[in-house]
Amino acid sequence: MPRAWKFGDDIDTDAIIPGRYLVMNDPEELAKHAFEGTRSQFAGQVEPGDVIVAGSNFGCGSSREHAPLALKGAGVKAVVSRSFARIFFRNSINVGLPLLVCDDVDMIRDGDRLSLDLDRGIIHNLDRLEDYNTTPLPPFLQEIVEAGGLIQYTKRQVGTA
């Protein structure tokens, strides 16, 4: 059953994937080093479908797209946070890593079993029997998500899709 990996505020992209691994461009290779040095058990224990739950300003710092790619490569289903740093937010939408903005992240504890309804934007906490609402994306961004990411969206624009 997918579990929550709980993180604090201001988790930066150097923490998500350290600079020395940016020579790699493959999501699954990057995933082996996700949170190396800051939460070393993550890469070995994360299961496909798991969810990252963080405080505010998740993904601050460097523009490296390797950060959402590493999480995607690790099978992370979505990142739930009170707020996201701007570039990480764009990058995640672009590569198809779902992000949920949620004010109730403090109600979720590390290891809680979660079930996500991404269409309706609802988080079910199966351990605490609680539901949390999330803030829907603006319609403009939903179009990109529905297209399957920015590459597909742009292909439609330039007529190569």
Partner 1 sequence: MTGQTLSEKIFSRAAKVEARAGQFVMADIDCAMIHDITGPLAVKGFYEISGDDGRVWDASKIVMLFDHQVPADSIKAAENHQMLRRFAGEQGLLNYDVSEGVCHQVMPEKGHVLPGQLVVGSDSHTCTYGALGAFSTGIGSTDMASVLATGRLWFMVPRTLRLIAEGKLPSLVTSKDLVLRMIGDVGADGATYMACEFAGPTVSAMNMAERMTMANMAIEMGGKAGLVEPDDVTLRYIEERAAGQEINPIKGDDDAPCTVRTWEVDDLEPQVALPHNVDRVEPVGRVAGTKIDQVFLGSCTNGRFEDIELACRLMGNEPVARGVRMIVIPASRTEYLKVLRAGLVERLMEAGALVESPCCGPCMGGSFGLLGPGEACLSTSNRNFVGRQGSSEASVYLCSPATAGASAISGVITDPRDIQGR
Residue ranges in contact with partner 1 by CB under 8 A: 10, 12, 14-15, 18-25, 36-38, 56-57, 60-66, 69, 83, 85-87, 90-91, 94-95, 138, 140, 149-151, 154-155, 157-158, 160
Measuring CA to CA, how many Å separate 18 from each of 37, 42, 64, 103?
Answer: 8, 14, 10, 28
Helix (H) or strand (E) holding 77, with range, is none
User: How far is residue 83's CA from residue 105's CA, in Å, rounded to a whole number?
Assistant: 10
Q: Where are the alpha helices (DSSP H) in 51-149?
A: 66-73, 86-95, 139-147
Taking the complex as a whole, the smallest distance from the CB of residue 160 to partner 1 amounts, in Å, to: 6
Q: Which is closer to partner 1, CB of 15 or CB of 116?
A: 15
**For residue 47, how many other CB atoms are within 10 A of its CB?**
12
Shortest Cβ distance from residue 77 to partner 1 (Å)?
A: 20
In the complex with partner 1, which residue's Cβ is closer, 15 or 79?
A: 15
| Sequence-separated (6 or more) residues with CB below 8 Å from residue 10 | 55, 56, 57, 60
Helices then strands, each counted (H, E), the chain: 7, 7
- Give whichever of 135 and 157 is closer to partner 1, judged by the CB atom: 157
Choice between 94 and 115, CB closer to partner 1: 94
Shortest approach of partner 1 to residue 57 CB, angstroms? 4
Residue 136 C-beta: closest distance to partner 1, Å: 15
Identify which of residues 3 and 66 has a Cβ nearer to partner 1 in the complex.
Answer: 66
Q: State the nearest-atom distance from the C-beta of 161 to partner 1, in Å.
A: 9
